[in-house]
Amino acid sequence: MLDAAIDATAEGYSFPMNLDRDLSANGLAPGTKAEFLRRATREGMDAETFGQRPGRMAAARQP
């Protein structure tokens, strides 16, 4: 049920992006917002950290 809610509300596509500012650790496309939400839920991330990350992800994808 949680996966369905995340799939319906969070972006699951890494592009468009700026590869100069938004690289992942493994050299592939950076994580999606849906992946971030799943990880935050699994790790019990605090609200302040959770609230800051999507904005940073969006800023890194600006041209």
Burial class, 37, CB count within 10 angstroms (exposed 0-12 / middle 13-18 / buried 19+): buried
Asked if the model's pLDDT at residue 44 lies above 80, the reply is yes
Q: What percent of the chain has pLDDT over 90?
A: 11
Kindly report the pTM of this predicted structure.
0.60
CB atoms within 10 A of CB 22: 18
Q: Which domain holds residue 56?
A: 2-60
- Reported as a pLDDT band with limits 50, 70 and 90, residue 16 is low
The total of structural domains in the chain comes to 1
Average pLDDT over residues 16-35: 66
Query: What are the residues whose beta carbons fall under 8 Å from the beta carbon of 30, sequence distance 6 or more?
Result: 14, 17, 22, 23, 24, 57, 60
The whole-number pLDDT of residue 18 equals 61
